[in-house]
Structure 1
Amino acid sequence: MDRKTISFEQGWKYMEKGITKLKRIMEGRPEPPFTTEECMSLYTTVYNMCAQKAPYDYSLQLYDKYREVIENYIDATVLPSIVDKYDNESMLRELVHRWANHKFMIKWLSRFFSYLEQIFIARNKLPSLFEVGMTCFRNLVYKVVHEKVTKAVILFINEEREGKQIDRALVKDVLEIFIEMGMDCYEKDFEAEFIKDSGDYYSRKALSWINEEDSSCSDYMIKVEECLNKEKERMTYYLKNSRTETKLIEKVQHELLVVHSNQILEKENYGFRALLRDDDKVDHLSRIFRLYCEIPQGLDSVSNMFKEHITAEGMALIQQAEDAAAASKEALMKKIKELHDKYMEYVVGSFQNHTLFHKALTEAFEVLNLQQNFSSTMKIF
């Protein structure tokens, strides 16, 4: 177009033709891509409309029109196409599709209107064209659908936890939309709800596993370790945000290992003490150590139970010796030493030389020393 003065109506009519073509391309209708000449012509039209002297400088009107074009398209096409979907998966797919289209639209409109960015927007300290486009989607789409979307994503993740195959790529794409809306939106609208629901989910799981007939501490810990590993893998795939993984793992550990700790570890005939009595359960003891080692003060109760168990076994040996008329201190000391050696192997192996378990072992044998009132030469532990 010539550099002669043009009216707003004349210039905008030409811009509308380019915008209509852009919409048709986004909707997948038969339309050839923009040529370099078309892009330059649209840019030049905006330039001419902004470079004219007052009262023919239409920069503000074009800036407002840019926003209006996006808002009208969202209201007429984007939002209805999302909210009208009858099932969760279709809704999520449409959201991902419309978000990709929206970014495509902003990319091309920003090229056409880029002269606004260079002079008018910078001079008046207004939100950039990109920011305007993001705000439109956030206010007109995201704020309308985010609650329903969050529930749908959590439902899919819970189905995956139950062993059902889901479209993981779809869930990942939706979570990226939350993040692109801003970390405040992600944390408030998705993460907080996800962590809370995960806590509820694993609270139910814990009760279910505990109440299984003949369920042992070992069986329970195997399931816990498997769940934690899967949650870590899931978060690595879905999100690059390590803070969410940390919060999730802490919540899962709390529900599975902390809330029901005594009920699990002290289960009669199947708990932690039963594992200590069985020489073939070293791997299971190591698993308990690994799981509780990652929890603040998690090993306190485990090491205390370890101490109580050793003390009880030692006291039983002492009582047996007192009941046997011919028992000698040497025979008793041999058995006590064997007891010490057995559990020292656990401390070094299963419990990875952890100071809490060294302390528990030492304190248990201090109790036994006092009980038997050994001479100084016999206090070998």
Structure 2
Amino acid sequence: MIMATRSRKRQREDQRIEMGKAQIDLEEGWGVIEKGITKVKSTLEGRDETPLNSETYVRIYTTIFTLSTQSHPYNYVNELHDKYKASLEDYITSTLLPLLREKYDEFLLKELVKQWSNYKLMVQWLSHFFHYVERYRSQKQSASSLTTIGIICFRNLAHREVKCEVKDIVISLINQERDGEQIDRALVKNILDIFVEIGLSDMDCYKDDFEDFFLTRTCGYYSRKGSDWFWEKSFSDYMRTAEECLKREMDRAARYLRPSSKVKVYKEVEEQLLTVYASQLLERENGGCRELFRHDMVDDLSRMYRLFNRMTYPLGLILHIFKQHIIAEGTAVVMQAENAAKNKQADKKDVVGFSEQIFVGKVIELHDKYLVYVNNCFQSHSLFHKALRDAFEAFCNKNIAGSSSAELLANFCDNVLKKGGSEKLSDEAIEEILEKVVKLLAFFHDTDLFAEFYRKKLAKRLLFDRSANDDHERSILTKLKQQCGGQFTSKMEGMLSDLTLAREKQASFEEYLQSNPNVKLGLDFTVITLTTGFWPSYKSFDLNLPAEMLKCVGVFKEFYTTKTKCRKLSWIFSLGTCNIVGMFESKTVELIVTTYQAALLLLFNSSDRLSYSDIVAQLNLSEEDVVRLLHSLSCAKYKILVKEPDTKTISPTDVFGFNLKFTDKMRRIKIPLPPVEEKKKVVEDVHRDRRFYIDAAIVRIMKSRKALSHQQLVTECVEQLSRMFKPDLTAIKKRIEDLIVREYLERDTENPNVYRYLA
């Protein structure tokens, strides 16, 4: 468009005024206008390269102004409006459409882009010419703009005729690109822009004339491809192909289509390539989802999650397969530990510490492996974390070789924390193992059973100085406290604190001895003072101590009364150890024994031979303990005593004497006692304590709720106790009945299924 200078604008205004003074006939004025329109057409078609000069433009513009502003009946606004529309329609039918009709395939698209560009320029020119027509019509009535009318004319006459053929050609080009061929992407983009532009800011034209058709054809294309690929490709290859197709379609949609089409295209491709074949692909024999897990195909697992995570059924199927696969591997670990323990027992070898090393070690490895899967492959999805937890709970709570998994876990911790158990491991490695063990505890139902076994093991490590590192002991208690709560570790923390106080008290005792030179013990005497409530319960007998020991005990009692008079001392000699010297014919040997063993051996300082009944009477111990003592000293590896008759069992008729001929290559030996089976007692104690926990939970719930139905009470009780153990529903019912008998609860008179709290 030629721009006029400021003086020319003034000249044009003067001409308008001059022409406005005289009335112009429509036919006369249209003749002037028509010449201008013809000039524009010739210029756009390239037949006339001479640009429209300013005088011609002003003449046309002023003519239309005059025809639009003349008084009635010489006002021709409506007539000019109709002629404007007729001019465009004539251009479309006489010039534009014939050019399009003679083209085909990609040439048709190029011609359409060219003619659409020319047509828009023509509409732009004519809109400037007929500016006052649009202005005066809009003042009097609600009418479409001249540009809008021009686009509507094109849509009704040109677009409607060629759109079907154009759509087919565009889809054909896109399919060629899908098949790997190079196409003119700019051409496709320009064509689709036409579909948008003729909609006049309304996307219905684009949607109805192209998008729906494109989605249908895309569906058909990928339906055929999906069927072929399903039979031709492995699961991994199929997923790679499907992912690449989705990626390319998204790229294509970003280049050609409107943003609203992107999601629709993705859903269509996803439906045809993934949803239709999801279950068949995932459950395919020798190559489905299970195969990916079996062969640790991490990249393919990540791809599988990316492709199927938005689909409810496929995601559920993957979760099920994932869970079952972990359960199968975990069950195999349980069987491996079980078989290894049986083989050890069959070979009459020591199986202590063997099952837990295999079971717990393998389970930790298994959890590390699949936790990486959940975090990396499955992007930490909450459902996969739940599937992992459920799978581990399914096999972690099985008994192995007669031992519960809680006991095995406690034994594993003991092996890590005691001296010699983890000498080759660094502090960082031990901390990492402890962290994993505590996380593993979340999968065990009998957490309280683990706590009791662990407490027993911790007590032995602390009392017999078997703990490798106090920092590690405190570290695992901190981790357990975070995992299970303060109540879980309160007694164990008390044990560690108790031992620190005991060392301080022993130092005070030694100062007491130094400050009282008249008090002579005659031997080294160390006492560990403990608080009853923190430590496991131990059997306590009034052992008849030798005079040397009895004197030491008396001195310590005197010292203790100077420190406190509010506490009572109870001596547990079964936990004590002694170093005594055995004077044998060949050489002198230092014997490391328990207090019970020492008391028995010292009897032979005053007697050469003692019968079984004499020993029982003089020691004041139970016959069971005496049998264990005599067996360790006369029938085991180190025969410090000789017995008559020389058999492997202890009987009440046996007679014992000191073995002067005993010899050993070592000058210092430790004589162990046969181990006592504590497992049964621990389990019984835990099950007894569970009754109290259930009672407390029921009373606590009912006190706050006042009235509850049976089902609600059981549900809340299970929820509260689940952190300590998985309560048996029958046990809960029995405890409710017991609380009713004890008048803590009562049944509702109108509804027996409802309980009420009695304050």
Same fold (TM over 0.5): yes
- Residues 285-338 of structure 1 show CA distances to partners (whole Å, capped at 9, x for unaligned) of 222222223446653222222112112222344445556642764334433333
Greater displacement, 291-300 / 63-72: 291-300
- Partner of 2:72, secondary structure, is coil
- Residues 14-55 of structure 1 show CA distances to partners (whole Å, capped at 9, x for unaligned) of 111111111111111133111222211110011111222222
Distance 1:121 1:31 in 2: 35
Q: Which has the higher strand share?
A: 2
1:365 aligns with 2:365: no
Structure-2 residue corresponding to 1:65: 83
1:265-344 counterparts in 2 under 5 A? 265-279=282-296, 281-295=297-311, 299-319=315-335, 325-326=342-343, 329-330=355-356, 331-344=358-371
Distance 2:195 2:67 in 1: 37
- Partner of 2:111, secondary structure, is helix
Measure how far apart 1:371 and its partner are.
5.4
Greater displacement, 243-252 / 369-378: 369-378
CA-atom RMSD, angstroms?
A: 2.1
- Residues 52-75 of structure 1 show CA distances to partners (whole Å, capped at 9, x for unaligned) of 222221111111100110111111
1:128 aligns with 2:145: yes
- Residues 72-121 of structure 1 show CA distances to partners (whole Å, capped at 9, x for unaligned) of 11111212222332x22111111111111111111000111111112133
Distance 2:185 2:191 in 1: 10
Distance 2:189 2:139 in 1: 36
Cα separation, partners in 2 of 1:42 and 1:359, compared to 1, 3 Å: same
Contact in 2 for aligned 1:46/1:115 (Cα 8 Å) = yes
1:201 aligns with 2:217: no
Contact in 2 for aligned 1:311/1:368 (Cα 8 Å) = yes
Matched pairs, number: 376
1:232 aligns with 2:259: no
Distance 1:32 1:24 in 2: 9
1:78 aligns with 2:96: yes
Contact in 1 for aligned 2:338/2:355 (Cα 8 Å) = no
Normalising by structure 1, what TM-score? 0.92
Q: Which structure's relative contact order is higher, taking Cα pairs within 8 Å and 6+ residues apart?
A: 1
Structure-1 residue corresponding to 2:273: 256
Structure-2 residue corresponding to 1:46: 64
Measure how far apart 1:246 and its partner are.
0.8
Contact in 1 for aligned 2:192/2:256 (Cα 8 Å) = yes
Structure-2 residue corresponding to 1:180: 197
Q: Counterpart of 1:129 in structure 2: which amino acid?
A: L
- Partner of 2:377, secondary structure, is coil
1:349 aligns with 2:366: no
Contact in 1 for aligned 2:399/2:405 (Cα 8 Å) = no
Contact in 1 for aligned 2:279/2:314 (Cα 8 Å) = no
Q: Counterpart of 2:226 in structure 1: which amino acid?
A: A
Q: Counterpart of 2:147 in structure 1: which amino acid?
A: F
Greater displacement, 148-157 / 15-24: 148-157
Contact in 2 for aligned 1:300/1:356 (Cα 8 Å) = no
Q: Counterpart of 1:192 in structure 2: which amino acid?
A: D
Greater displacement, 227-236 / 329-338: 329-338
Determine which of 40, 45, 50 is the counterpart of 1:27: 45
Measure how far apart 1:221 and its partner are.
1.5
Greater displacement, 369-378 / 76-85: 369-378
Distance 2:119 2:186 in 1: 20
Unmatched 5+ stretches in structure 2? 1-14, 345-353, 410-439, 444-759
Greater displacement, 141-150 / 15-24: 141-150
Distance 1:249 1:13 in 2: 56
Distance 1:125 1:346 in 2: 65
Q: Counterpart of 1:71 in structure 2: which amino acid?
A: E
Contact in 2 for aligned 1:299/1:356 (Cα 8 Å) = no
Which protein is bigger by CA-based radius of gyration? 2
Q: Counterpart of 2:316 in structure 1: which amino acid?
A: D
Distance 1:231 1:104 in 2: 34
1:111-150 counterparts in 2 under 5 A? 111-150=128-167
- Residues 111-160 of structure 1 show CA distances to partners (whole Å, capped at 9, x for unaligned) of 11111112133312222211211111111111222222222211111110
Distance 2:173 2:374 in 1: 42
Distance 2:191 2:95 in 1: 20
Unmatched 5+ stretches in structure 1? none
Contact in 1 for aligned 2:105/2:169 (Cα 8 Å) = yes
- Residues 249-292 of structure 1 show CA distances to partners (whole Å, capped at 9, x for unaligned) of 1111122221111222222222222221224x222222222222
- Partner of 1:30, secondary structure, is coil
Determine which of 204, 212, 232 is the counterpart of 1:192: 212
Contact in 2 for aligned 1:209/1:220 (Cα 8 Å) = yes
Distance 2:337 2:208 in 1: 65
Cα separation, partners in 2 of 1:81 and 1:263, compared to 1, 3 Å: same
Contact in 1 for aligned 2:398/2:405 (Cα 8 Å) = no
Distance 1:348 1:111 in 2: 64
Distance 1:372 1:261 in 2: 38
Greater displacement, 282-291 / 226-235: 282-291
Structure-1 residue corresponding to 2:621: none
Contact in 2 for aligned 1:303/1:356 (Cα 8 Å) = yes
1:7 aligns with 2:25: yes
Q: Counterpart of 1:227 in structure 2: which amino acid?
A: C
Greater displacement, 370-379 / 52-61: 370-379
Cα separation, partners in 2 of 1:296 and 1:25, compared to 1, 3 Å: farther
Contact in 2 for aligned 1:21/1:31 (Cα 8 Å) = no
- Partner of 1:326, secondary structure, is helix
Contact in 2 for aligned 1:178/1:190 (Cα 8 Å) = yes
Distance 1:190 1:256 in 2: 22
Determine which of 152, 162, 171 is the counterpart of 1:154: 171
Greater displacement, 317-326 / 226-235: 317-326
Measure how far apart 1:375 and its partner are.
4.1
Q: Counterpart of 1:18 in structure 2: which amino acid?
A: G
Q: Counterpart of 1:210 in structure 2: which amino acid?
A: F
Measure how far apart 1:13 and its partner are.
0.9
- Partner of 1:211, secondary structure, is helix
Contact in 2 for aligned 1:228/1:249 (Cα 8 Å) = yes
